[in-house]
């Protein structure tokens, strides 16, 4: 009956993905069926850790996070957990031999979110490495089916894509991060008085990372290329919307892509992929 429990665990992680991020869920649906559950397993783990530091303000978040970390490594070592989200994650980690250093780095960034941090360029890059780039690397391990040579070859591109996604999240979520959680991730930037020059500099930085990442997306196996490309298209659309907004707009509203626009983007992406125009 272990197979039944593992199946349930992945269904739980899939439900987490669908509940928390319809856009990411849509991207996963365009991956090959053989790897969809594995990506859900990674997302569920990442999402739960993020929830601890972002949401449970009435609780001792540091204690919750430390308990979650202990349970994570126990699950990986034992190759089982009664927490379905951790059970599906440990299966993925052990199946693809995901480097524990990536998990360490991610959880380190979650610790950084427990208290307000005045970010320097160094700590800003450290946070992005852990919160986004290593998550991209975990997914890359799945995309290349654990092939170490391919993983190393595509690693720089995956890190660029993760970094670009995270920086767009920073801009998109400025209202909630700054006003709700008191977080300012961009070093040396006054969020209330964010200048046009600072905003353009950040946007240009993201665009350069996207341009680099696209080179790697085109080299992914067919089983994952389209799904990753769909996420890339969605986030580049978000970037274009953000570019048209003022800093004041970003502090007042969370920037979104309407569902009908998402459908159109996905349809165009499908056509480009089918015609080998990526």
User: Residue 64 — pLDDT band, cuts 50, 70, 90?
Assistant: very high
The position carrying tokens 């490594």 is 73
Percent of the chain at pLDDT above 90?
A: 72
The position carrying tokens 């197979």 is 3
pLDDT at residue 276 in the model = 67
Output 198 or 135, whichever has higher pLDDT. Answer: 135
pLDDT at residue 62 in the model = 96
pLDDT at residue 172 in the model = 87
For 27-55, the pLDDT digits (tens) are 899 999 999 999 999 999 999 999 999 99
pLDDT at residue 115 in the model = 86
Taking the alpha carbons at both ends of the chain, their separation in whole angstroms is: 43
For 135-163, the pLDDT digits (tens) are 999 999 999 999 999 999 999 999 999 99
pLDDT at residue 193 in the model = 67
| Per-residue pLDDT at 249 exceeds 90 | no
Structure tokens at 264: 């159109």
pLDDT at residue 277 in the model = 62
pLDDT at residue 199 in the model = 87
pLDDT at residue 116 in the model = 81
User: Residue 192 — pLDDT band, cuts 50, 70, 90?
Assistant: low
What is the C-alpha to C-alpha distance for residues 261 and 191, in angstroms, rounded to an integer? 29
User: Residue 247 — pLDDT band, cuts 50, 70, 90?
Assistant: confident
Contact by Cβ (8 Å): 207, 160: no
pLDDT at residue 251 in the model = 80
pLDDT at residue 135 in the model = 97
Tell me the pLDDT of the chain averaged across its residues: 91
Would you tell me which CATH number, out of the four given (1.20.1050.10, 3.40.50.10860, 1.10.600.10, 1.20.1300.10), belongs to the domain 2-274?
Answer: 1.10.600.10
Structure tokens at 259: 């569902």
3-state helix, strand, coil in the chain (%, to 5): 75, 0, 25
Question: Domain limits of the chain?
Answer: 2-274
Closest CA to 110 of 168, 190, 54: 54
Task: Work out the average pLDDT over 12-18.
Answer: 97
pLDDT at residue 160 in the model = 97
């Amino acid at each position: 009956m272990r197979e039944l429990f593992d199946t349930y665990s992945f269904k739980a992680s899939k439900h987490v993905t669908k509940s928390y991020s319809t856009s990411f869920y849509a991207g996963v649906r365009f991956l090959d069926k053989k790897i969809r559950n594995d990506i859900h397993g990674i997302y569920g783990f990442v999402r739960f850790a993020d929830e601890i530091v972002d949401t449970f303000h009435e609780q001792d978040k540091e204690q919750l996070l430390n308990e979650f970390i202990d349970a994570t490594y126990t699950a990986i070592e034992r190759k089982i957990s009664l927490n379905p989200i951790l059970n599906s994650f440990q299966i993925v980690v052990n199946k693809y031999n995901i480097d524990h250093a990536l998990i360490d780095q991610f959880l380190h960034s979650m610790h950084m979110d427990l208290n307000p941090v005045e970010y320097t360029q160094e700590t800003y890059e450290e946070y992005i490495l852990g919160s986004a780039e290593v998550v991209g690397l975990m997914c890359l391990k799945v995309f290349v089916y654990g092939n170490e040579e391919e993983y190393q070859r595509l690693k720089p591109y995956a890190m660029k894509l993760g970094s670009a996604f995270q920086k767009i999240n920073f801009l998109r979520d400025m209202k909630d991060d700054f006003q709700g959680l008191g977080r300012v991730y961009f070093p040396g930037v006054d969020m209330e008085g964010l200048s046009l020059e600072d905003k353009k500099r950040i946007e240009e930085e993201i665009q350069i990372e996207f341009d680099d990442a696209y080179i790697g997306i085109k080299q992914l196996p067919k089983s994952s290329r389209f799904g990753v490309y769909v996420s890339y298209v969605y986030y580049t659309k978000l970037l274009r919307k953000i570019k048209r907004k003022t800093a004041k707009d970003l502090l007042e509203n969370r920037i979104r892509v309407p569902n009908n626009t998402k459908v159109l983007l996905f349809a165009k992406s499908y056509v480009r992929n089918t015609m080998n125009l990526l």
